[in-house]
Amino acid sequence: MSDLLAKLFPNHLRTLQARADAALARGGFDHLVIAAGVPRHEFLDDRPAPFVANPHFKHWLPVTKAPGSWIVYSPGNKPKLIYLQPRDYWHVVPEAPAGYWVEHFEIAIIEEAHAAGAHFPKTLEHCAIVGEDNAALGDARPNNPESVLNYLHWHRSYKTDYELAMLRVASKLGARAHRAAEAAFRAGRSEYDINTAYLNAVHETENELPYGNIIALNQHGAILHYTDLNRAPPAHADSFLIDAGANFHGYAADITRTYAAAHAGAFQELIDAVDAAQRGFVHKVRSGQNYADLHVHAHRVLAGILREQDFIRMSPESAVESGVSSAFFPHGLGHMLGLQVHDVAGFQKDETGGSIARPPGHPYLRFTRTLEPRMVTTIEPGIYFIDLLLGELKNKPQARDVNWTKVDAFRRYGGIRIEDDVVCTEGAPENLSRDAFTAAA
């Protein structure tokens, strides 16, 4: 894998340099300075929160565990990495830079965080400094100029070949761990033990994952961001929803699957219907497809499933227009993916900024742009039986068109979500997640 990344990295870096050149020119700056970041500490304590590198930093190089480090780039010059290797016996000191990427950087090793300032451009007022406020070093304070960030975020939507290779590896790691989690579910394990099986298979700690795993048995599948992890298995495990990812050099996989117990035949039929619909939505990840329109289309299809399986007794169009479909599918169809799980620029109008509004009645959609080649998005439709939302629906006139007997019978299953990471190409989409599951099998 390292040979492939070594081959792809130079073009990736040239692309970033060209984008930085254009962004700096637009903002009237001469230099781009990027902070890796520093850990934040808990309130009234000296305990640091888990460190997460600035995505702009790890966009330039596969380094995710070097707090206090910086990148300085001036157009026409080799990018410079200011790398902090502190004299420290309390914590693990980052290893010296090594690998396929180091030859492309001028590297300065420092032992004290404040020493980075000696390597900054002398004219700080001409620098676009990107980072969190706590990364400030003397007069070098992050200014995060909007014109620069808008340009960089817009173009970060289009992944280089190097980035796509990173995402493929992350998907393979995630698929392997999903297999282990499913096996643990089939063996009757608790949520906590299933999560442990996942971590053992993915070979990453919880802090290294791109987000906290959602490991939900039975009714817990109706809690969209369930992370409590019961230590004891339920008396009867009827269903299992797992939303869990993986991280490879800062790039994220985001995969969700739902499984029924062997005895839950009716619920399996619903899973199969959602799975078929999800594959159809993936097929529409094509250049020129407006994502907000695809989201509304997904509502109609899912409402059709609810009608076909006798959960509702109204037309799919009526279910969408009246908001009934949102009681069963209350979140967005997906989001952009890359260096962050919910990657930037999902609403951005163009490279200068602006925002594309969500369609009315769909407040949780995270992506409203039109798909183009090299964008990576998730496709994650769902059908849930959420007590809060069903209670609200029951008080509306449309409640008469709901088969409450069947709905109530399915509350014990929680819900269904199926999520794949998908690359928009010039032709048919590339399904990173399904390809990874095939390889894992």
- Answer yes or no: do 251 and 400 share one domain: yes
DSSP-assigned states of every residue in 418-430 = -BEEEE--SSSPE
pTM: 0.97
- Answer yes or no: do 277 and 391 share one domain: yes
- Answer yes or no: do 219 and 297 share one domain: yes
Residue whose C-alpha is closest to residue 147's, from 27, 309, 48: 27
Task: Give the angle subtended at the CA of 178 by the CAs of 197 and 415, to the nearest 5°.
Answer: 105
User: Do 82 and 72 touch, CB atoms closer than 8 A?
Assistant: yes
DSSP-assigned states of every residue in 129-177 = EES-GGG-BTTB-----HHHHHHHHHHHTS--HHHHHHHHHHHHHHHHH
Q: Which domain holds residue 146?
A: 2-155
- Answer yes or no: do 272 and 383 share one domain: yes
Q: Find the helix packing angle between 291-308 and 265-283, rounded to 10°.
A: 150
CATH, residue 432: 3.90.230.10
User: Do 378 and 243 touch, CB atoms closer than 8 A?
Assistant: no
Tens digits of per-residue pLDDT, 45-92? 999 999 999 999 999 999 999 999 999 999 999 999 999 999 999 988
- Answer yes or no: do 126 and 166 share one domain: no
Q: Which of 155, 184, 201 is the last residue of a domain?
A: 155
Q: How many domains does the chain have?
A: 2
d(CA 195, CA 217): 12
Q: Which of 122, 155, 188 is the last residue of a domain?
A: 155
Per-residue pLDDT of the chain (441 residues; tens, 9 = 90+): 889 999 999 999 999 999 999 999 999 999 999 999 999 999 999 999 999 999 999 999 999 999 999 999 999 999 999 999 999 999 889 999 999 999 999 999 999 999 999 999 999 999 999 999 999 999 999 999 999 999 999 999 999 999 999 999 999 999 999 999 999 999 999 999 999 999 999 999 999 999 999 999 999 999 999 999 999 999 999 999 999 999 999 999 999 999 999 999 999 999 999 999 999 999 999 999 999 999 999 999 999 999 999 999 999 999 999 999 999 999 999 999 999 999 999 999 999 999 999 999 999 999 999 999 999 999 999 999 999 999 999 999 999 999 999 999 999 999 999 999 999 999 999 999 999 999 998
Cβ burial of 395 (10 Å; 0-12, 13-18, 19+) is exposed
The C-alpha R_g of the chain, in whole angstroms, comes to 24
